[in-house]
Homo-oligomer: A and B are copies of this chain.
Amino acid sequence: MVKRRGLMLVLSSPSGAGKTSIARTLLKQDTQLAMSVSATTRRRRPGEVEGKDYFFLDEMAFKTKINRGYFLEYAEVFDHFYGTPADTVNKTLNEGRDVLFDIDWQGTQQIKASARQDLVSIFILPPSTQELERRLLNRAQDSAEVVAGRMAKAADEMSHYPEYDYVIINHDLAQSVAAVQTILDAERLRIDRQQGLSDFVKQLRQSSSA
């Protein structure tokens, strides 16, 4: 086996398209893949473990780290900051393992700007509007108004699909998981990820022309 550099796998989708189920199944079946752990300024909830669920930071520490370029991407959501520490991700990639991100198009754009070569981005689409609405209705006891708002937000998010490398239309969970796994397996064979190749080929060439 030639040593390889890990990759960053980004899954984005409007909520209700099935991204979370795909990610969960994928993490179970692929032992080379780990979920990215974000830093956040929100309070720790009961049962949450520092360094496993999140890295918990106060706002001043978080903002200092933003200024120092500590985050691959970050966002402010409902008065709390969330961000991906570059150092922990890089450590994993250097070990030849891959990191999975569940982030939106804005986070994806930030990673693209700073680490394009390590990024593999997939956009998950719902199979139809009816199915998207059904999943959003099933999810919680929300009012029709809230669901309508989410549908409008989904329409907005879907406009960003052309910024991704791959698109999967999620007709069926098992098929979509298989498609993401196929992309992951193929991307691992990309030349710039197989870091030991140059030594391997050098050795082959020397002994072939000897």
Contacts and interface: CB of A to CB of B under 8 A. Distances in A.
Contact of A201 (B158, B201, B205): B158
Interface of A: 2, 123, 125-126, 128-129, 132-133, 151-152, 154-156, 158-159, 161-162, 164-169, 179, 182-183, 185-187, 189-191, 194, 197-198, 200-201, 203-209
Contact of A208 (B154, B198, B201, B203): B154
Contacts of A203: 129
A169 B2 contact: yes
B167 A194 contact: yes
B191 A166 contact: yes
Contacts of A182: 182, 185-186, 189
A159 B209 CA distance: 12
A208 to B, nearest CB: 4
Contacts of A194: 167
Contacts of A132: 204, 208
Contacts of A205: 155, 158-159
A204 B168 contact: no
A208 B167 contact: no
Nearest to A187: B186
A209 B129 CA distance: 10
User: 7 tightest A-B contacts by CB?
Assistant: A186-B186, A155-B208, A129-B207, A155-B209, A155-B205, A183-B186, A151-B208
23 contacts: A123-B191, A125-B200, A125-B201, A125-B204, A129-B203, A129-B207, A129-B208, A132-B208, A151-B208, A151-B209, A152-B209, A155-B205, A155-B206, A162-B191, A164-B191, A165-B190, A169-B200, A182-B185, A182-B186, A182-B189, A183-B186, A183-B189, A186-B187
